[in-house]
Amino acid sequence: MNLAQAIQSPRGVARSISRHFRRLRSKYAEIGPYKIHLPAQHEVLEYKRNYHLYDTALAKIAGVLRDKYADLHAIDIGANIGDTAALIRESGEIPVLCIEGDPLALPFLRENAMNLGDGIEIEPSFVGKEGMSVDLNSASNLGFNASLIAGRDKQGEVELRPLSTILVAHPRFKGSKLLKTDTEGFDFDILRLSMSFIRQAKPVIFFEYGPHLRQDEPLAGLDTIAQLISAGYSDFIYYDNFGNFLLHVEAKSQSIMNDLDSYLGSNRRHGLVVHYFDICALHQEDADMVSRIKSETQR
């Protein structure tokens, strides 16, 4: 029985995941006030040692948001082992919906969610278009930073679920003002499929911008930016993949966004320095937070 087939069988899940989980050596990391259990091969600690600002922007953004929205709720798509939820909760016990379909990350996520305290809900799903699926046998880096290949009609495939369907089961998060997505190449699909939620809730969106991870849709990043602008998003704060503040771009300056997209493409073709950007997108109703977010995340 392969891993994807095992996911379809309750007994198969228990046996397969247990075997893989036991083979993973593990360690602990401190993220803010929390102690996080993670696979020994997980790269987050190495990144933090080498790049002091890595994974710090989101925690600071959540803190600024919490000052404006006392009842701040967050949605974490691609929650992995729960390290991002820990970042979001550094400034307080912000409720977080952790969405993660990786069967090897889920045991760590469930354990860490208990250590994070009340307010954490887990949805064991991959986010995507209704009727589509992922082939886990074609996935790489399961348990660490999974990259998935979408497909149809594959034996043992796992169905995707749109965010709108997931929120029916987690209604307290329907008005979340913070949305984070980091899904190794599927971020643009997820955001474009979630526009009804985005238009209604107008969350601050923190997402990985890696338009050249998938060769089949090289303009996905710019199209996603255009759809966000049409939904009222006015400000886009860019960080490089090491966590350094890069620049703030207003919606009216789309030519700058085009140039940044081209820069990433050049990196991928001619030698990687910056692999991707992280972008904090703010709706015009939250433009008042731009200056403080910039100030906090440059420290």
Q: Residue ranges of the domains in the chain? A: 43-126+172-297
Strand partners, 204: 178
Strand partners, 206: 180, 280
d(CA 156, CA 122): 23
Superfamily covering domain 43-126+172-297? Vaccinia Virus protein VP39 (3.40.50.150)
| Closest to 190 measured CA to CA, from 56, 59, 74, 75 | 75
pLDDT at 138: 54
pLDDT at 208: 95
- Whether the CB-CB separation of 123 and 98 falls below 8 Å is answered with yes
d(CA 127, CA 192): 12
pLDDT above 80: residue 25 = no
Question: Tell me: the pLDDT tens digits for 81-90?
Answer: 999 999 999 9
pLDDT at 159: 75
pLDDT above 70: residue 170 = yes
d(CA 54, CA 17): 30
Find tokens 């550094």 and name the residue.
Answer: 90
d(CA 62, CA 230): 24
- Whether the CB-CB separation of 34 and 86 falls below 8 Å is answered with yes
Within a 10 A sphere around the Cβ of 37, how many other Cβ atoms? 17
The DSSP bridge pattern shows strands 74-77 and 34-39 to be unpaired
> Higher confidence at residue 186 or residue 77?
77
Q: Which residues of 267-280 are buried (b: 16+ CB within 10 A; e: fewer)?
A: ebeeeeebebbbbb
Question: Tell me: the pLDDT tens digits for 211-264?
Answer: 877 777 778 999 999 999 999 999 999 999 999 999 999 999 999 999 999 999
- Whether the CB-CB separation of 156 and 5 falls below 8 Å is answered with yes
